[in-house]
Amino acid sequence: MGLFNKLKSVFKNKKEDEKVNGELKLYDKGLEKSRNEFVSKLNLLGIKYTKVSEDYFEELENLLITADIGVKTVMDFIERLRKRVKSENITDTKYLQEVIVDELFIIYVNNESITDKINMATSGPTVILMVGVNGVGKTTTIAKLAYKYKKEGKKVMLIAGDTFRAGAVEQLKIWADRTDTLFYGKENTDPAGVIFDGLVKAKEENVDIVLIDTAGRLHNKINLMKELEKINKVIGMQINGAPHETLLVIDATTGQNGIMQAKAFKEITNITGIVLTKLDGTAKGGIVLAIKEEVNIPVKFVGLGEKMTDLIPFDIENYIYGLFKDMI
């Protein structure tokens, strides 16, 4: 139980830190629905069954599935839990709760070096390509990232690559004005051409960060794949090694549908990270673990509120803290 004891000491420090740490407060508040739903049920389960039994495992399995951790992930998780119960001769469900937190942390970390950092260009503009189906909050996510990087003193440009959807270009232009960032876009024209011209301008203006919006028509995967291939080629021709990141935006409230979107986009282009929006709006915060286990793409940012400052870098320790702090 070394890892859990380590987490306990980390959590103790985080509780003391919560008053002053803005990001930690966001995790605490943003995961409140998930925490109330999941942890309270887990605690009730521990009261109902004081000893580990088959009935306990069955109810735990259902509880994890309703938390949107995903059926495959849950089955693997329960199997690992059973092995630990057997090898460590665990009979007390109170102690098993600690093992559960321990194992959920391991699911995400899995002895890998998890990088939630954005891959920044060593010279010239860093190009971040944003993909995702319509309605997941892609445009507002671009605006929030623009706001974040602008506040950090970067020169930012937004390029409207969603050229055929009515109002998409104008909407992005409004966000560029609101965040005081540069903008390039044209309606009803070839997206790759617009992106090419936008990148020329970005280099002329010595821009630090370029955020590119794209169309989200997943229902026609072949067309979208061809479009993204063309866009990637054009970006690479203009800026060597770009795009430096391709971020997929997923709405956390859509649950398993979001996992399906991640799998579909992974088939058609190289996704380097996920932005999970509206995590504060769901009681199924376990989707973070399901994404890692089923799609194996790191979550790089999470949306924990509607304000411009509520999109923050993903931190696994803060996430586990926000989910389980009432247990520890």
Using one digit for the tens of pLDDT, what is the confidence trace for 5-44? 655 666 666 566 655 577 888 898 999 998 888 888 998 9
Q: Which amino acid is at 326?
A: D
pLDDT score of 313 more than 50: yes
Tokens of 147: 């706001």
List, in order, residues 6 or more apart from 26 with CB less than 8 Å away. 304, 305, 310, 312
Average pLDDT over residues 31-58: 91
- Among all chains, which residue has been given the structure tokens 């411009």? 308
DSSP letter at 117 equals S
Amino acid at 186: K
- Whose tokens are 């605690």? That residue is 43
Helices (H) and strands (E) in the chain, counts: 13, 8
Per-residue pLDDT tens over the stretch 146-186: 999 999 999 999 999 999 999 999 999 999 999 999 999 99
The pLDDT score that the predictor gives to residue 19 is: 53
Question: Is 38 within 8 Å of 286 (Cβ atoms)?
Answer: yes
Q: What is the pLDDT of residues 93-120, one digit of tens each?
A: 988 988 888 888 887 776 555 566 899 9
Q: Quick one: which H or E segment has residue 276?
A: strand 273-277
The rounded mean pLDDT for the chain is 89
**Alpha carbons 55 and 81: distance in angstroms, whole number:** 14
pLDDT confidence of residue 1: 47
Question: Distances from the Cα of 217 to the Cαs of 134, 196, 273, 289, 294, in angstroms?
Answer: 7, 21, 19, 26, 23
The most confident of the ranges 19-23, 40-44, 207-211, 324-328 is 207-211
Calculate the alpha carbon distances from 169 to 124, 204, 229, 250 in Å.
25, 22, 21, 21
Nearest by Cα to 317 from 5, 24, 47, 16: 24
Taking the C-alpha atoms of residue 126 and residue 119, their distance in angstroms, rounded to an integer, is 8
133: CB partners within 8 A, 6+ apart: 216, 217, 218, 261
Query: pTM for this one?
Result: 0.91
pLDDT tier, 213 (very low <50, low <70, confident <90, very high otherwise): very high
